[in-house]
């Protein structure tokens, strides 16, 4: 089997495609023949060594994949069954999806939903699953399309772009925040009704500003999230799922105690299986057919290291698929 293997040499991370024996795979109940994986921000940090993602080497990165069961000791899965994996530390502390095979725990897998195939599942990927969980958080907070505009930060990334498409398909008025003017046409095609510059949210936030947003999905963190919180409507809900701009939150308690704003954290790595299954069904039902044709590029396993560097340099819009087979 071919696999992208990360190793350490003189304190630096080295990524090389190698031929490995399937016997080298870590323990698990289900072995999967991988057809598609994705290149996520966390994968890019791991492959380039620019983030402290990997703590034990060698490691096969790839935090999500889609494929078919090769062998199963778990009665819930059978040979030839199409499955999806996202999260659970795979690609971080357990060999992941940037390989022709993976061996994982059965609890980590989700059966492919009806109406979806492996390629489209990875166009959605971890980013899309996270976006759907954020949308569900807004809905559960009582935010309906009639409440007002929803702002999405980091909108040109994988989570943000899928969130824009989902919210638009569900009838929400979406305002996208993007740091790149080159993405504006793409975001309008996904359903954004207006686009704001990231610079408008990058200054130090005041405790409260004019109320503008019924809900928000934030993938950036730091000052961007602080500014969004200061602009939320009374009883607004913010679903926060990322820290592309930093992990600090320079804000005050004012939005929470004077405007009843809710800040809801969203995690897809350890989300319960039942929640994942619900989210995948919603994704299949909600995403329009043309979403799968928008800003999706395919690369090979050998091209993944270069693709990781491009992703970190903010040179990629939308989703990058890795075609394994």
d(CA 122, CA 55): 26
CATH code for the part of the protein at 2-112+295-323: 3.90.180.10
- CATH 3.40.50.720 intervals, the chain: 125-265
Angle between helices 118-140 and 158-169 (to 10 degrees): 70
As annotated, the residues of the chain forming the CATH 3.90.180.10 domain(s) are 2-112+295-323
Nearest CA-CA partner of 48 in 313, 295, 257: 313
Tokens of 277: 């299954």
Decide yes or no: CATH 3.10.450.200 for domain 125-265: no
User: Over its length of 325 residues, how does the chain's per-residue pLDDT go in tens digits?
Assistant: 999 999 998 888 999 999 999 999 999 999 999 999 999 889 999 999 988 889 899 999 999 999 999 999 999 999 999 999 999 999 999 999 999 999 999 999 999 999 999 999 999 999 999 999 999 999 999 999 999 999 999 998 889 999 999 999 999 999 999 988 888 998 999 999 999 999 999 999 999 999 999 999 999 999 999 999 999 999 999 999 999 889 999 999 999 999 999 999 999 999 999 999 999 999 999 999 989 887 678 999 999 999 999 988 878 776 799 999 8
Q: How far apart are CA 230 and CA 255, in angstroms?
A: 6
Coil, helix or strand for 48? helix
């Amino acid at each position: 089997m071919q696999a992208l293997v990360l190793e350490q040499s003189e304190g630096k991370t080295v990524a090389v495609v190698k031929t490995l024996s399937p016997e080298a795979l870590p323990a698990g109940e289900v072995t999967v023949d991988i057809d598609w994986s994705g290149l996520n921000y966390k994968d890019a940090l791991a492959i380039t060594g620019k983030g402290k993602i990997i703590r034990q080497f060698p490691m096969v990165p790839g935090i999500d994949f889609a494929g078919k069961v090769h062998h199963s000791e778990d009665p819930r899965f059978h040979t030839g069954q199409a499955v999806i994996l996202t999260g659970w530390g795979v690609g971080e502390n357990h060999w992941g999806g940037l390989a022709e095979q993976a061996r994982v725990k059965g609890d980590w897998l989700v059966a492919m939903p009806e109406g979806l195939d492996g390629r489209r599942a990875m166009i959605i990927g971890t980013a899309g699953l996270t976006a759907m969980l954020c949308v569900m958080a807004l809905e559960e907070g009582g935010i309906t399309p009639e409440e007002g505009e929803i702002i999405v930060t980091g909108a040109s990334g994988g989570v943000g772009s899928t969130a824009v498409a989902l919210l638009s398909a569900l009838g929400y008025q979406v305002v996208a925040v993007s740091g790149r003017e080159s993405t504006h046409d793409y975001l309008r095609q996904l359903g954004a009704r207006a686009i704001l510059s990231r610079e408008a949210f990058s200054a130090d936030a005041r405790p409260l500003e004019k109320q503008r947003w019924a809900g928000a999905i934030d993938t950036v963190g730091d000052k961007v999230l602080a500014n969004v919180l200061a602009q939320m409507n009374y009883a607004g809900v913010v679903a926060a799922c990322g820290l592309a701009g930093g992990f600090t939150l320079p804000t005050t308690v004012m939005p929470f105690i004077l405007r009843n704003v809710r800040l809801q954290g969203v995690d897809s790595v350890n989300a319960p299986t039942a929640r994942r299954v619900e989210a995948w069904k919603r994704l299949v039902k909600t995403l329009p057919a043309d979403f799968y044709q928008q800003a999706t590029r395919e690369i090979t396993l050998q091209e993944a290291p270069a693709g990781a560097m491009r992703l970190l340099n903010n040179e990629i819009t939308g989703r990058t698929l890795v075609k394994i087979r």
